[in-house]
A and B are shown apart, each in its own frame.
Chain A
Amino acid sequence: MSLRVAFLANRRFEFQVPQRTPWAESAWFPVVDDWGPEIASASKFQPDVTFVFEPLSRGGRRVNQIPGIKVGIVTQQPSQAELAEAVRRHRTGAGTLHWFTWFEEPPPAAKDLPLLGLVAATLDAQRLPFPPSLDRADVAIPAWAKPAGLPVSAKLLPANDDRRNLEEALSPFGILLYHSEAPLRLNDPVLLFALGHGQLLISNQPFPAECGLEQEDEYLVRPVKEWARIVEKEREGLGSLRAVRVRAFQKVRELFDASLVFRRLAHDALLLRNGGRTSPTRWPW
């Protein structure tokens, strides 16, 4: 095993960083307010590829001393000022990152940044329980995804920035209800946790098809008024939706497992490092 991969990320990204990478020697350097010590430690690690979460932050701009290829993982919309600064630095050659990934289609203002790919979400599947608890049927709903007039009794999950607390709060349940005015987005961690636990996700909205999650085979889309009936059927324990829960559990591992995703990214970051735009007609990614 010759590849060395570093992850420079705040502790709140703990569940998005793979603990084990059979394909590389890897290390996670959890950054706090001052990135200095972690940048120094990562430099000593001598990585071939470093994944930098929050790359547009003040700390993320200081990673130039780390050897190897640096890939910025953008997980939420940056401020206009942060984005403008990143573009300015890249244009002037002062940028410290070779590549960026974006959590969704990047805004036009980011078009000059070198895009390695879209990474909507990752989850370290090794940390999730196996086998899933498929017989649980208690119902939870996030406080931020509760519709007016919820027709079914459900435990309210409070907003929580700490992924570990969120995962613990969610794990006793078997069904997650989720109301949204817009199509579901993978960057709400509660959704990926629920699916990864083999919970039955019922929402009034689908995920965009390009997310790869299969409606009705891996989660259900129903109007709010039908939620109570579906929940009741699942509680009856007939198992007719067990297949949906099993597939949700599997799909998270197939598509979003952090080890799998970062393996492909590390390979591509190295492979394409000299492959900038060679033609005006070439897609940027």
Chain B
Amino acid sequence: MTIGFLVSDIANITGGVNAVIEHAWGLQRLGHRVRVVVLGQLPAQPPTWHPKLTNLALVSVDEAITERFDVLFATWWQTFFELWRFESRIYGYFNQSLESRFHPELRLKFLNRLTYSLPLLFLTEAKWLEQFIRLMQPKAEVVRVQNGLSEEFFPRVGKPSSRHSPLRVLVEGPWGFPFKGLAEAFEILDRAHTDVALEVGWLTSHSGGTHPVVGGAPVKIFERVPISKVHQVFREYDVLLKLSRVEGVFGPPLEMFSQGGTAICSAVTGSDEYMVHGQNCLLIDRLNEKRAGRYLALLGENSKYLDQLCRGAVETARQAPDWSTSTGLLNAALAKLVANHFDNSTLRPALKALAMARFGCFSAEPTPEPSGWLGRFLEQWRSSSV
């Protein structure tokens, strides 16, 4: 099969793009012809943050337009509106989060909701997203494949490493996105520092020039670390502190688990996929976010409990599928669809119509007027697909 993935940005490090690369590379390895279609500027050289990018065909829009895809996946939600430009037998959507939650703007939220308005082939990694999609599009094909944990980049340790004092805490995430909860994490660490000795690091794809200080000492920053080196950073720390408010399924806590550490994380969507409070990590709801300080003090004082959590975490990572397993499941699902002659190419005009919706058809209240063209269009599709 010729399989395509539409990406808007390949240059920057994100967990979402990492999953795209792993699936693309894995499908290629299984004998498929895979194209990663870069909607923005095609880089002259493959970015170096992910070694597998050098083995993938990154193609421009102009080149991809000449292709006839068997399966073409949108990825980041805005790439949904580009699907119509390409010919494909199956139009799919690799949906890893409810991305309207990233945007405060009502118009963007509304546009994001449009991406669930057609019965595409949906691929997702999260149980909650699978449920969301099935409730949004009861007749759509939905394939859920758990994201893998790369054995190559995150070789699992057999047991937690011996603990050190002070407690070593790693914060992870890019600066500049309030829903990542980074400012809150550093504030909690700064306050906790008066109570427990801490050594703090920050793993980030983008620090934005920020230099956080905890307890008067600068935080050690690991910025734009190639994925092949990230596990070395995790191994330097005992605890990952991650207080983001929006996730599909957390990736970094599982990566931390694979390197023998535990995590204190927000009880956010998808956290229930593999994180169990008191078994492999500590979870906090937002109302009790400051409790992280108390947990840090506890872990700093109680090395036995810290070790218990780390042992649970190592076991969780041991049970997580490798990417080859995950992509194998995706491959099997695609093969089954093809064997059943699944074809949703007739959606292409509808995809084009929705793409046009982006351009200036909104009032202050960004919902469609029933009598307007978008309202009539949605009504037609809703009555035929739900």
Contact = CB atoms under 8 A, between A and B. Distances in A.
Interface stretch (B85-93, B282-290, B332-340): B282-290
12 contacts: A230-B365, A233-B370, A237-B379, A239-B378, A247-B98, A250-B132, A261-B285, A267-B278, A268-B278, A271-B278, A279-B194, A281-B194
Interface size band for B: 35 or more
A185 interface: no
A82 interface: no
Interface of B: 98, 100-101, 104, 106, 109-110, 113, 116-117, 128, 131-132, 135-136, 191, 194-195, 245, 267-269, 272, 277-278, 283, 285-291, 293-294, 297-298, 301, 305, 365, 367-370, 375, 378-379, 382, 386
Given A271-B305, A283-B290, A217 B109 contact: yes
B286 A210 contact: yes
B154 to A, nearest CB: 27
A254 B382 contact: no
B286 A246 contact: no
Contacts of B106: 216
Nearest to A243: B113
Given A216-B109, A229-B365, A254-B128, A264 B283 contact: yes
A231 to B, nearest CB: 12
Contacts, number: 120
Contact of A217 (B100, B293, B298, B386): B100
A233 B10 CA distance: 39
Contacts of A211: 286-287
B382 A237 contact: yes
A285 B291 contact: yes
Interface in A212-252: 212, 214, 216-217, 226, 229-230, 233, 236-243, 246-247, 249-250
A283 B191 contact: yes
A242 B278 contact: no
Contact of A238 (B132, B285, B288, B368): B368
B351 to A, nearest CB: 17
A211 B288 CA distance: 10
Most buried by A among B135, B297, B375: B135
A93 interface: no
Contact of B287 (A118, A271, A275): A118
Given A120-B287, A217-B100, A264-B283, A250 B128 contact: yes
B223 to A, nearest CB: 29
A167 B141 CA distance: 34
B379 to A, nearest CB: 6
Contact of A226 (B98, B195, B285, B365): B365
Interface in A254-268: 254-255, 260-261, 263-264, 267-268
A249 B245 CA distance: 17
A131 B135 CA distance: 8
Contact of B277 (A247, A254, A255, A263): A263
A217 B179 CA distance: 14
B288 A117 contact: yes
A238 B277 contact: no
A120 B288 CA distance: 10
Contacts of B368: 233, 238, 240
Most buried by B among A226, A236, A240, A271: A240
Contacts of A44: none
A285 B378 contact: no
Given A233-B368, A285-B291, 20 more contacts: A120-B287, A210-B289, A212-B286, A216-B109, A226-B365, A238-B375, A239-B382, A239-B386, A240-B367, A242-B136, A243-B136, A246-B136, A254-B267, A255-B267, A260-B272, A263-B277, A264-B267, A281-B194, A283-B290, A283-B294
Contacts of B277: 263-264, 267
A240 B106 CA distance: 12
A282 interface: yes
Most buried by B among A233, A239, A261: A239
Contacts of B297: 278, 282
Contacts of A233: 367-370
A254 B267 CA distance: 8
A4 to B, nearest CB: 16
B285 A255 contact: yes
Interface string A115-159: 001101000000000011010000000000000000000000000
A95 B158 CA distance: 46
B336 to A, nearest CB: 25
Given A238-B378, A254-B269, A282 B132 contact: no
B367 A272 contact: no
Given A240-B110, A263-B277, A272 B298 contact: yes
Contacts of B104: 216
Contact of A247 (B132, B245, B287, B288): B132
B306 to A, nearest CB: 12
Interface string A187-215: 00000000000000000000000111010
A237 B113 CA distance: 15
Given A212-B285, A250-B132, A254-B267, A238 B365 contact: no
A268 B295 CA distance: 10
A272 B382 contact: no
Most buried by B among A216, A241, A281: A216
A239 B288 contact: no
A208 to B, nearest CB: 9
A134 B136 CA distance: 9
Interface in A55-74: none
Contacts of B245: 212
Contacts of A272: 294, 298
Top 10 nearest A-B pairs (CB, nearest first) are A267-B278, A212-B286, A236-B370, A281-B194, A240-B367, A246-B135, A117-B288, A118-B287, A243-B113, A282-B195
B140 to A, nearest CB: 13
B291 A117 contact: yes
Given A250-B128, A254-B269, A264-B283, A282 B278 contact: no
B294 A282 contact: yes
Interface in A85-127: 117-118, 120
